[in-house]
């Protein structure tokens, strides 16, 4: 979600808006500030459990900023309560982007905590919203099922700027960038790679690179699994800047066999680098399959292995065709100019209406 916020803030600034980003204070705040260059960046200290994110100074910070519109990214934490309070006190437009957090797979986990959040502040926040934002039509249905008879405005995440068309002779390397979390289904990906290695179906030089961050327990589980995995799988931790760009631009395919997603920015970043995807339908990017920029890898070790074999068997010409389809998506419907126009239209309408419902 952080990457989505970075791209979103950038496109609004380029459109002429003054962007203020408010966040809960944590150990990553200084690095986050660097990524949000040009935006006013305010952090509020958290009291109590980090999972709740109770930051009593957040409401005052929002009110003092004299915002024309407030946009909440993500739910199930205290910022939802702060957003609802701000909307009630100011009467100004309030947008909620759930970022996939109302997906049934997500809502089925930690049920009692989410029940408390609903009762404590989420329903109040949802009622205060001038508009709900969904990344996909599927997410719009999830929002309507959870929040009631609401209509969401569907706008995808913007991807980064497209890089130069890559060479066709990339090594047989596959990559993953994202959170280390059970919903990303990395254990099935590792099992698939190991199956192919055991069956001697991986060519010389084949490599699977896993890059990302996560809770200590999830990272520990991944490292434990990798102790018995082939040496051709490596976990490199978080990657940023040039290191991240290099992984995206040198991988023949990026892989995302997720069990649940909103709209993964990792896929848009891969396409901007001209790199096709192996991904599950749960990534909610049917445009990738339709355009020929992605292969459906399913969510089991067997289906992921089949997709990897299909990717490895491609000729250079076939891969180049997929790469061109990827960059066409990244520069077209998921490009910043197209997404910016849609956001500017929505925000302009809401601000003109004041706090009225969209």
Question: How much is the pLDDT for 358?
Answer: 41
Stretch among 1-5, 187-191, 268-272, 327-331 having the lowest mean pLDDT: 1-5
Distance of CA 14 to the CA centre of its chain: 21
* Domain boundaries, position 106: 2-158+336-353
Q: Are residues 24 and 140 in the same domain?
A: yes
Closest CA to 350 of 152, 71, 128, 93: 93
Q: Per-residue pLDDT tens for 212-228?
A: 999 999 999 999 999 99
Q: Which residues of 122-137 are buried (b: 16+ CB within 10 A; e: fewer)?
A: bebbbebbbbbbbbbe
Contact 212, 185 (CB under 8 A): no
Claim to verify: residue 272 and residue 306 sit in the same structural domain: yes
Across the range 46-69, mean pLDDT stands at: 91
144-187 tens-digit pLDDT: 988 886 788 999 988 888 987 656 679 999 999 999 999 999 99
Mean pLDDT of the chain: 91
Q: Is there a domain that residue 358 lies in?
A: no
Task: Please tell me the predicted confidence (pLDDT) of residue 166.
Answer: 57
Same-domain check for residues 150 and 221: no
Same domain, 140 and 199: no
Quick one: 326 and 349 in the same domain?
no
Mean predicted confidence (pLDDT) in 187-204: 96
For residues 265 and 340, membership in a common domain is answered with: no
Residue 288 forms part of a structural domain: yes
Does 96 reside within a domain? yes
Contact 93, 117 (CB under 8 A): no
Region 294-304: what's the mean pLDDT?
98
Cβ–Cβ under 8 Å, residues 255 and 275: no
Same domain, 134 and 196: no
> Is residue 236 pLDDT above 70, yes or no?
yes
Q: How many domains does the chain have?
A: 2
Is 347 domain-assigned?
yes
* 102 assigned to some structural domain: yes
Q: Is residue 213 part of a domain?
A: yes
Please tell me whether residues 82 and 206 are part of one structural domain: no
Do residue 298 and residue 344 come from a single domain? no
User: What whole-number percentage of the chain has pLDDT above 90?
Assistant: 65
Confidence at 283, pLDDT banded by 50, 70, 90: very high
Measured CA to CA, the distance from residue 180 to residue 71 in angstroms comes to 27
DSSP state at residue 136:
S
Listed range (108-112, 202-206, 207-211, 333-337) with the worst mean pLDDT? 108-112
| pLDDT value, residue 109 | 83
The answer to whether 135 and 158 are in contact (CB under 8 A) is no
pTM for this prediction: 0.77
The predicted structure's pLDDT at residue 82: 94
Query: 103 or 185: whose pLDDT is higher?
Result: 185
- The answer on 346 and 204 residing in a single domain is no
Residue 208, in any domain of the structure: yes
């Amino acid at each position: 979600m952080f990457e989505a916020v970075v791209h979103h803030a950038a496109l609004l600034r380029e459109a002429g808006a003054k962007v203020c980003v408010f966040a809960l204070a944590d150990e990553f705040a200084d690095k986050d500030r660097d990524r949000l260059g040009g935006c006013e960046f305010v952090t509020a200290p958290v009291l109590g459990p980090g999972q709740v994110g109770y930051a009593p100074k957040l409401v005052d910070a929002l009110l003092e900023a004299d915002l024309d519109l407030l946009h909440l990214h993500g739910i199930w934490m205290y910022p939802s309560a702060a957003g609802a309070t701000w909307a009630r006190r100011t009467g100004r437009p309030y947008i909620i982007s759930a970022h996939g957090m109302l997906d049934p797979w997500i809502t089925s986990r930690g049920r009692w905590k989410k029940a408390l959040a609903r009762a404590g502040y989420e329903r109040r926040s949802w009622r205060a919203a001038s508009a709900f934002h969904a990344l996909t039509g599927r997410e719009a249905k999830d929002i309507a099922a959870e929040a009631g008879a609401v209509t969401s405005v569907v706008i995808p995440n913007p991807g980064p700027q497209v890089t130069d068309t890559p060479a066709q002779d990339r090594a047989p390397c596959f990559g993953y960038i994202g959170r280390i979390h059970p919903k990303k289904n990395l254990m099935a990906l590792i099992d698939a790679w190991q199956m192919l290695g055991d069956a001697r179906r991986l060519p010389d030089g084949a490599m699977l690179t896993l890059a990302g961050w996560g809770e200590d327990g999830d990272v520990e589980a991944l490292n434990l699994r990798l102790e018995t995995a082939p040496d051709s799988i490596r976990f490199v931790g978080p990657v940023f800047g040039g290191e991240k760009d290099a992984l995206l631009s040198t991988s023949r395919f990026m892989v995302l066999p997720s069990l649940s997603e909103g709209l993964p920015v990792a896929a848009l970043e891969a396409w901007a680098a001209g790199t096709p995807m192996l991904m599950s339908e749960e990534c909610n990017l049917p445009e990738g399959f339709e355009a020929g920029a992605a292969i459906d890898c399913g969510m089991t070790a067997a289906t992921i292995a089949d997709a990897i074999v299909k990717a490895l068997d491609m000729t250079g010409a076939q891969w180049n065709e997929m790469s061109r389809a990827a960059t066409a998506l990244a520069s077209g419907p998921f490009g910043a100019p197209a997404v910016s126009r849609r956001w500017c239209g929505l925000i302009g309408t809401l601000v003109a209406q004041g706090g009225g419902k969209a």
